């Protein structure tokens, strides 16, 4: 599913297989400051600028933010990595239209990322680059084994 993040006048999009991973992407990158909406408008991650993220995570996934993140890192790390690496500037609707065009192939997102990372960053900050760097950190994560301290 494609999601859009509106960050003031800037628009970003990313892909996530489910709402749980979408919520982790948004909260990890935006610290709860910006909401995200699926391209079909049915799924929504609210803005947590004044808190409430743990309550929202519990009501939607049965665990708080940290517990949800730990669960995903141990069971769906690859999906979180892929979702973080998919963050690009542009609207969710524009991304969907591009994917539906004849020019899109399963390898296109990776080719775009490799070829144009510098051109796809915000003029105000490196939002996309931060997402990709966090994806690399996720890929290196190894959960502690039982009995280790």
In a domain, 35, yes or no: yes
In a domain, 97, yes or no: yes
In a domain, 145, yes or no: no
Instruction: Burial-class residue 47 by CB neighbours within 10 Å (0-12, 13-18, 19+).
Output: middle
Number of domains in the chain: 1
> pLDDT value at position 143?
75
In a domain, 76, yes or no: yes
Q: What is the rounded distance in angstroms from the CA atom of residue 60 to the CA atom of residue 39?
A: 19
Residue 96 is part of which domain span? 2-140
Q: What is the rounded distance in angstroms from the CA atom of residue 19 to the CA atom of residue 79?
A: 12
> pLDDT value at position 128?
76
> pLDDT value at position 40?
93
Give CA angle at 131 (68, 102), nearest 5°.
105
In a domain, 149, yes or no: no
Please indicate, yes or no, whether the overall pTM of this predicted structure exceeds 0.85: no
In a domain, 147, yes or no: no
Q: What is the mean pLDDT of residues 96-119?
A: 60
Query: Using one digit for the tens of pLDDT, what is the confidence trace for 125-137?
Result: 577 778 888 889 9
Q: What is the percentage of the chain residues whose pLDDT exceeds 70?
A: 80
Which range has highest mean pLDDT (5-14, 18-27, 102-111, 121-130)? 18-27
* Mean pLDDT over each residue of the chain, to the nearest integer: 83
Q: What is the mean pLDDT of residues 81-91?
A: 87
Pick 72 or 103 by higher pLDDT.
72
Banded pLDDT at 124 (limits 50, 70, 90): very low
Start-to-end Cα distance in the chain: 38
Name, in order, each residue with C-beta under 8 angstroms of 48's C-beta and a sequence gap of 6 or more. Answer: 27, 32, 33, 56
In a domain, 18, yes or no: yes
Q: How far is CA 133 from CA 60, 100, 117, 126, in A?
A: 27, 28, 12, 10
In a domain, 146, yes or no: no
């Amino acid at each position: 599913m494609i999601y859009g993040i509106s960050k003031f006048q800037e628009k970003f999009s990313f892909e996530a297989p489910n709402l749980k991973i979408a919520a982790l992407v948004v909260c990890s990158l935006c610290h709860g400051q910006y909401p995200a909406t699926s391209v079909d408008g049915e799924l929504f991650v609210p803005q947590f600028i004044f808190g409430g993220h743990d309550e929202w995570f519990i009501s939607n996934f049965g665990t708080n933010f940290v517990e949800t993140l730990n669960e995903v890192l141990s069971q769906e790390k690859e999906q979180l990595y892929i979702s973080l690496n998919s963050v690009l500037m542009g609207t969710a609707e524009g991304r969907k239209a591009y994917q539906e065009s004849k020019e899109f192939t399963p390898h296109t997102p990776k080719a775009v990322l490799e070829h144009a990372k510098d051109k796809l960053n915000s003029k105000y900050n490196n939002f996309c680059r931060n997402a990709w760097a966090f994806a690399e950190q996720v890929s290196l994560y190894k959960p502690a084994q039982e009995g280790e301290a």
